[in-house]
């Protein structure tokens, strides 16, 4: 009996090292690199949201959805899932002819599209080339024996692709008109209709007499005939500014808000400082507007409170501190050149802010 016990103990002792070796091998064989799921993406702020509550801002860059590879799109600020969808669409034979085509990509929300839209570029080899639209002769007829179509009033809210084809649109153009209408929530003016890439200003103007728009609030409505062009931007309200081809429902509010912060525009070029106004769009807008610099609201630089100064877009925190500190010591300035000498502004900064400064010796 004693010999059996000794044999069992000896066998157990031999198994222990073997078990330790097996456990060690299993630990070594376990993969150390685990898959980390992609960070959730906030399409409103274009900011990846980390689990540790710290945020990493993404600087958006231009990209061509027809040519950019995955890494290029990620570097441009495109969410990973959208970059993958764009590439899959291309592999399936999809070509992006206009920016709005990107809005149809799987996973793309309206809010994210409006953030990315200014940075989407369509190369010349892919974009739709507009053909001269010299008349309204229909390019499509149901049959060779069809009579000449007489144009009748129609509503853009309910018009079909079939009808659009009978009044001169190709099938592709008609689909774009309907798609753009659905994306912006309906056409509310002839300018919005003209903004559709498949329409253009010339065609919109020719169809204008036949288009029926939804009823308006007549107290706020201003027709084209009542607005004189170019429009003075410092006195125009939102309704008047919406008459400008190139200023949309969203951009008009940013233009007015920026005007209030500045105290008025002294140059039309200042509107191009807004992020949502692209260079292409600004070229359209600047031909239709002008600025009356006499309407600018100026700041009494020698007496204005810090709260008044800090809200101006051209006055940084550094400038504000120097203005307050030097003003207490010096007692004020008489010219912008004195402020440059006091190292308050650089010459470039002074050129921007000078039209808004009043060097009067008396507080208001």
The pLDDT of residue 265: 96
| 70 and 83 Cβ atoms separated by less than 8 Å | yes
The pLDDT of residue 25: 66
296 phi/psi in degrees, rounded to 5? -70, 135
| Residues lower than pLDDT 70 in the chain | 1-16, 23-58, 128-151, 185, 214-227, 361-364
Q: What is the pLDDT of residues 190-218, one digit of tens each?
A: 888 888 878 888 888 888 878 877 655 44
Question: Which residues make beta-bridge pairs with 211?
Answer: 154
Which burial class, exposed, middle or buried, applies to 196 when counting CB atoms under 10 A from its CB (0-12, 13-18, 19+)?
buried
The pLDDT of residue 328: 87
Domain 41-119, CATH number (from 1.10.150, 3.30.70, 1.10.20, 3.30.420): 1.10.150
**Element holding 48 (H helix, E strand):** strand 47-48
| 261 and 313 Cβ atoms separated by less than 8 Å | yes
**Element holding 154 (H helix, E strand):** strand 154-155
Number of C-beta neighbours around residue 101 at 10 A: 19
Give the whole-angstrom CA distance, residue 88 versus residue 208.
Answer: 40
Q: In terms of DSSP bridges, do strands 289-290 and 299-300 run parallel, antiparallel, or are they unpaired?
A: unpaired
The pLDDT of residue 361: 61
3-state SS, residue 211: strand
3-state SS, residue 47: strand
Written as one string, the DSSP assignment of 292-360 is: -GGGPPPEETTT--HHHHHTSTT--HHHHHHHHHHHHHH---SSHHHHHHTTSS-HHHHHHHGGGEE--
The pLDDT of residue 23: 65
Q: Does the CA dihedral 241-246-251-255 come out positive or negative?
A: negative
Q: Where are the domains of the chain?
A: 41-119, 129-215, 224-295, 299-358
What CATH architecture applies to the domain 224-295? Orthogonal Bundle (1.10)
Structure tokens at 207: 């169809």
Question: Which residues make beta-bridge pairs with 232?
Answer: 290
The pLDDT of residue 4: 61
The domains spanning 41-119 and 224-295 adopt the same CATH topology: yes
Q: What is the pLDDT of residues 210-240, one digit of tens each?
A: 887 765 544 444 444 456 778 999 999 888 8
Give the whole-angstrom CA distance, residue 176 versus residue 166.
Answer: 15
Cα three-residue angle 146-150-153, rounded to 5 degrees: 135
The pLDDT of residue 302: 92
The pLDDT of residue 339: 94
């Amino acid at each position: 009996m004693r010999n059996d016990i000794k044999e069992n103990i000896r066998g157990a002792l031999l198994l222990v090292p073997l078990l330790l070796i097996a456990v060690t091998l299993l630990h070594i064989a376990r993969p150390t690199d685990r898959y980390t799921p992609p960070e959730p993406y906030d399409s409103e702020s274009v900011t990846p949201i980390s689990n540790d509550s710290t945020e990493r801002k993404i600087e958006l860059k231009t990209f061509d959805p027809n040519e950019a590879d995955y890494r290029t799109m990620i570097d441009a600020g495109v969410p990973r899932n959208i970059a993958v969808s764009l590439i899959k669409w291309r592999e399936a034979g999809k070509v992006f002819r206009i920016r709005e085509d990107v809005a149809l990509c799987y996973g793309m929300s309206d809010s994210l599209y409006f953030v990315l839209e200014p940075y989407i570029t369509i190369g010349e080899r892919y974009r739709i080339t507009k053909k001269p639209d010299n008349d309204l002769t229909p390019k499509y007829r149901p049959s060779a024996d069809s009579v000449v179509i007489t144009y009748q009033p129609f509503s853009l809210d309910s018009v079909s692709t079939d009808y659009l084809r009978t009044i001169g649109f190709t099938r592709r153009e008609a689909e774009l008109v309907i798609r753009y209408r659905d994306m912006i929530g309906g056409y509310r003016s002839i300018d919005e209709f003209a903004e559709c890439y498949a329409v253009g200003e010339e065609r919109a103007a020719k169809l204008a007499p036949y288009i029926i728009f939804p009823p308006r609030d007549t107290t706020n409505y201003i027709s084209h005939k009542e607005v004189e062009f170019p429009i003075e931007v410092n006195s125009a309200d939102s309704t008047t500014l919406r008459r400008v081809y190139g200023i949309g429902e969203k951009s008009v509010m940013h233009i007015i808000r920026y005007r209030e912060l500045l105290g008025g525009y002294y140059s039309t070029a200042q509107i191009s400082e807004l992020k949502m106004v692209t260079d292409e769009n600004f070229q359209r807008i600047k031909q239709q507007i002008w600025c009356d610099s006499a309407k600018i609201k100026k700041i009494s630089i020698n007496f204005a409170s810090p709260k008044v100064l800090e809200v101006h877009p051209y006055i940084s925190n550094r400038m504000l501190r120097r203005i307050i500190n030097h003003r207490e010591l010096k007692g004020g300035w008489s010219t912008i050149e004195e402020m440059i000498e006091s190292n308050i502004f650089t010459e470039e900064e002074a050129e921007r802010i000078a039209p808004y400064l009043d060097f009067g010796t008396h507080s208001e």
